[in-house]
Structure 1
Amino acid sequence: MSGEIIGLVCIAGMLGLIALRCPVALAMAAMGFLGFGLIVSFEPAISILGSGPFEALSNYSFSPIPLFILMGVFATKARMSSEMFSAARTLFGGWRGGSALAAVTSCGLFSAISGSSLATAASMSRVAMPEMLKNGYSPQLASGALAAGGTLGIIIPPSIALLLYALITEQSVGDMFMAGLIPGILGLALYCAAIAVQVWLKPDLASPSEPTSWGQKIRGLAGLGPFAGVFAFIIGGIYWGIFTPTEAAAVGAALTMVIAFARGMSLRDFFASIEETIFTSAMIFFMIIGAEIFGYFLSVSMLSQSLAGFVVDMGLPPFAVLLSVLLLYVLLGCVMDGMAMMLLTVPIVYPLIVQAGFDPVWFGVVTVIAVEMGLITPPVGMNVFVLKAMSPEINIRDMFRGVMPFVMSDVLRLGLLIGFPSLALALI
């Protein structure tokens, strides 16, 4: 068999293993080893099993990953999410749907520290969901706002998904972070607009929040200062060249640790944060190792190059190629973790996009937003099921109904980014 045929068979086998609940990392490594052995020989394939993990784990470029994870874990252990929600709720005091607006806003702020959609959704739902239900909010609106707000963790920098995309495609991490800033803020604004439109059309979805004075609003804004300061310091430092992304991750983790201790984090919570960071980092690096081995196989199979040539020969318009790839991401996002999906698919689809003439940095942002949409899209949006685990009393159908206005907001954001690529590229 040709390398391309072996490539397709091994990819099908990998998807079959994943469907059988085999860990994604193990499925990639196993099929990568088998495919490389069939195309080249098994002796060099065995040597790759030894060299691949070393090359992945010793790559300095991957060092920001555990540091950004540690930053998010510190924020969670120190219960920063509750302080963010309380401060944001004060800002929206007196507004109908103010608590939902506060939940989405605090999700956006927390995601700038966390970098993870699932962690953002889980942390904020513990704080905001009981408060909204107690104040008479529709479970549909409350769950939709939190599930959608959680997805901001994957796009607002510093984002682990953007970091991984940059490393896979050899783009500048700083450029990727800056490219994600405006689309992330745009997503937050569109989510707030979706809430405002819903409560305007159906006022019974939410009650007005307790009015607050301008003095209280200013104090609430000041309460968000430390968290916004960490975000601004990290992104500003990268943008102005004060430090590298790795140094930014270290500085961010240190600043978040200081804030966490100042807000009562105990030594027990500190060591628990280190332990959780180790477990999460190990899981991600296991996937990176699997992707490294699978990447060797893709290189020798020439599958990506053949697919790119096939698309060119078909004469498909560039936007048809783009929309097909985005649809694939939305569908896969329903059933697969975002980082696993990117490690699995980007090496395959990236040559297609470059061949079609799209900017790789812009495509990275569009890809992450498409993955983000999959996290809240029926039938298996992962963020929705995280919320269901946190709030089992809410019907899953109500949750999916609640996220649909936010899915439409994401469709609008994707359309704006496709129509106006400068939204992602203006700050680079």
Structure 2
Amino acid sequence: MTEAAAAALPRAPAILDRSGAALSALAVLGMLLGALVIVTDVLLRWLMGSAVVALNEVMSHVFAVAVAATLPAGAVRRVNLRVDLLGRQIGERLSEWLTLCGSLLLALFFGLLAWHIWGQAVKFQAQGRATLLLNWPLAPTSYAVAAALWMAVAVQLWNAARDLRACLRTGGRGPSLSGALVTGLLALSVAGLIGWAIADFDGLAGLAMQKPGLAVAVAFALLWLGVLSQLPLAAVSGLLGLGGTALFIGAASAGKVLATDATEFLTNAQIATLPLFLMMGSFAVAAGISDDIYRLANALLGRVRGGLAYATVAGCAGFGAVSGSSVATAATFGRIALPQMQARHYGPGFSAGVVAAGGTLGALVPPSGAIILFALLTEQSIAVLFVAAMVPALLALLLYFATIWIVVRTDPEAAPDTVAAPDPLGPALKGALPVALLFGTVIGGLYGGVFTATESAAVGAVGAFLMALLRGKLNRRRFLSVMSETTATTALIYGLIFGALIFSFFVNLGQVPELLAQWIAGFDMRPVLVLAALLVFYLVLGAVMDSFAVMVITVPVVTPIVLGLGYDIYFWGVLMLVVVEIGLITPPFGLNLFVLNSLQPDVPISRVMKGVLPFILADIVKIVLLVAFPALALWLPSTM
């Protein structure tokens, strides 16, 4: 590295941060303006019986460009999903080199995607392809998406340069034997396959077509090795999917599939739903609704023993209705509820268990980012999945209430005998009324068929924005924070989706779901036993991986198997989400446990795990009830 380049590196983060902030602002402002247009259309239909012509067509292209614009900003913030399960075994020195590899792999994946989408744009322009209603040319949208991806490539290459500098300077702990074995096996396997492909691509492709199940099994093994090696899941799944698809249909055709799937997904009518609900959650947090929800819950439930625990779980459910994130809910209510429970002499383990378990409601209570991701991956209705999750979410709330009731009566140290004075009900109701109206409008409109999923997301985003604005909570710093949060999460999720699209295509080419279904049928087992085995598998995965990662890796294979057993896809989507979220509080790796431990560093993690065990038992009861009575998830959607 030259002296000039070395001198430029320290200045680069500030430049990249400013560029990322500018891109975040443009992307999120574009989404917010799009949401305002959608809300205007809803009001016009309601008040005047007219609508904006071809609005869905326009918005699909606007949001395609806006979502793509989040990718370079996300690259600046390094929001790639990595699984840190073997962090200590891998060690600091090897971890630095793997971070460098991750940056290069992301640059390669985004570069291939940008190259093929740019080629698609050239083809669209030459053919004069245009939209159906407005006859708008398709090429500009593809050019804009490709340009955003090229910017992401540039950022990732700059990240790689910084990573290389860190690698050359680092002197930390080396890897353990297990960490070296995992990364060494991955490196040797990848090098061997690349060498084989270079020397005899036709022979390797012929073997893959003769034994497609083996090809996909090898890909899954490499995927897991990559995940355990802390490589970014988006890049690993995308490149494995692209390489596997190339073995079946050729490299050129695989690139066309990647570009076509990505652009069709970006221009999908539901593309705006996820970022708008993410924006709704960020604006709602900025408006301070978590305090309002907790105050109301305490006013209603604080008059009984263990009232703060009941209020915390109820508050988590209410906050989940606008945040859609388990970890965010646990972290937010950990800061609000733990000090109050500590001041009133609640048991620290019990207090942490209450918040950790209540946090899982954040992803189950609609609108939920995980539910939207499942809907996008399986091309199902977001609205139906939201409604399907409502009764299971209520069941979870009631079971947690029952758990609290049992614990405070069997463990004298869990909660004090004296009951603290609850918050006054009148002011609490007044403060929480806007939140209730927002949630009621979003979910009620979905259930009643007044809104589509995208329209409800737009109403929620605009409503939360107005709430924060009218409360005087939306200064420049907080508005930039909302932009940054929305951009980071959007970039993370859609990067994962791009990788999942081509990996799913490869898995389906290999006919793995059909082969597995036939293999399972050969055991002559009852479907419920197969489902039980899958649920145990998901419990283990949920304890060590983020729910988004679990879905991206498993949905392409497991969902067809479950459908082949005769189960409804909406039932399966809700049940899988329930089980994966339980993994967040399952020892020894449940993420919510460590979030709560970080908020109470003086409380041993073993005590936090002990405090959450009664809630895990309640969750097992919930799973048994859902499996025994699928109507708990399917009845409410049937009434829509």
TM-score when normalising by structure 1:
0.96
SS in 1 for 2:522: helix
Task: Give 2:528's aligned residue.
Answer: 319
1:425 Cα deviation after fit: 1.2
Q: Distance in 2 between matches of 1:93 and 1:164?
A: 36
Residue 439 of structure 2, aligned match among 211, 231, 244: 231
2:455 equivalent to 1:242: no
Tell me the distance in 1 between the aligned counterparts of 2:310 and 2:419: 10
Partner in structure 1 of residue 214 of structure 2: 5
- State the match for 1:259 in structure 2: 467
Cα deviation code 1:339-397 (max 9, x no counterpart): 22112211101111111111111111111100111111011001111222232222111
Q: Are the aligned partners of 1:117 and 1:152 in contact in 2 as well (CA < 8 Å)? A: yes
Are 2:356 and 1:147 equivalent residues in the alignment? yes
Q: State whether residues 57 and 285 of structure 1, in contact with CA within 8 Å, keep that contact through their aligned partners in structure 2.
A: no
Q: Which residue of 2 aligns with 1:37?
A: 246
Aligned counterparts of 2:446 and 2:301: Cα–Cα separation in 1 = 32
Distance across 2 between alignment mates of 1:343 and 1:82: 34
How far is 1:399 from its partner?
0.9
Q: Deviations over 1:252-301 (max 9, x none)?
A: 11111222223331322122201210111000100010101111211211
Corresponding position of 2:421: 211
Superposed CA offset, 1:180-212 (max 9, x none) = 001101111111111111111113211244234
Say if 2:542 and 2:580, in contact at 8 Å, map to a contact too. Answer: yes
Deviating more after overlay: 11-20 vs 123-132:
123-132
Q: Residues of 2 paired with 1:393 and 1:76: CA distance?
A: 28
Q: Distance in 2 between matches of 1:227 and 1:156?
A: 14
Correspondences of 1:9-408 after superposition (within 5 Å): 9-207=218-416, 208-212=418-422, 216-268=424-476, 269-408=478-617
Greater Cα offset, 416-425 or 383-392? 383-392
Q: What is the letter of the counterpart of residue 14 of structure 1? A: L
Q: Is the Cα–Cα contact under 8 Å of residues 298 and 422 in structure 2 kept in the other structure?
A: no
Q: Which amino acid aligns with 2:603?
A: I
CA distance in 2, matches of 1:39, 1:326: 32
**Structure with greater Cα Rg:** 2
Please name the residue that 2:626 is paired with: 417
Q: Select between 140-149 and 295-304 the one with higher mean Cα deviation.
A: 295-304
Q: Check conservation: 1:37, 1:44, Cα contact below 8 A.
A: yes
Paired residues of 2:289 and 2:432 also in contact (CA < 8 A): no
Taking the aligned partners of 1:70 and 1:146, their CA distance within structure 2 comes to 24
Q: In the TM superposition, what is the alpha-carbon distance from 1:174 to its structure 2 partner? A: 1.6
Is this contact kept in 2: 1:115–1:153, CA < 8 A?
A: yes
Moved more, 290-299 or 254-263: 254-263
In structure 2, C-alpha distance between the alignment counterparts of 1:259 and 1:169, rounded to whole Å: 34
The answer to whether the 8 Å contact 1:333/1:341 transfers is yes
Alpha-carbon distance in structure 2 between the residues aligned to 1:385 and 1:110: 20
What letter is aligned with 2:421? Answer: P
In 1: Cα distance, 2:450 partner to 2:323 partner: 22
Superposed displacement of residue 43, structure 1: 2.6
CA distance in 2 between partners of 1:26 and 1:303 (Å): 22
What amino acid is the match of 1:407? Answer: I
Task: Output one character per residue of 1:18-74: Cα deviation in whole Å (capped at 9) or x when no partner.
Answer: 000011111111211121122332232233444443333332323111111111111
Give TM-score scaled by structure 2 length: 0.65
Q: Give the 3-state SS of the residue equivalent to 2:365 in structure 1.
A: coil
Does the aligned pair in 2 maintain the 1:354–1:360 contact within 8 Å? yes
Question: In structure 2, what is the Cα distance between the partners aligned to 1:138 and 1:39?
Answer: 59
Distance 1:382 1:212, change over 3 A: closer
1:146 is displaced (CA, Å) by 0.5
Partner Cα distance (1:111, 1:371) in 2: 16
Shift of the alpha carbon at 1:218?
4.5
The whole-number CA distance in structure 2 between the counterparts of 1:262 and 1:185 is: 31
Asked if structure 1 preserves the Cα contact closer than 8 Å seen for 2:345 and 2:415, the reply is yes
8 Å Cα contact 1:148/1:403 also seen in 2: yes
How far has the Cα of 1:77 moved from its partner?
A: 2.2
Unaligned runs of 5+ in 2: 1-206
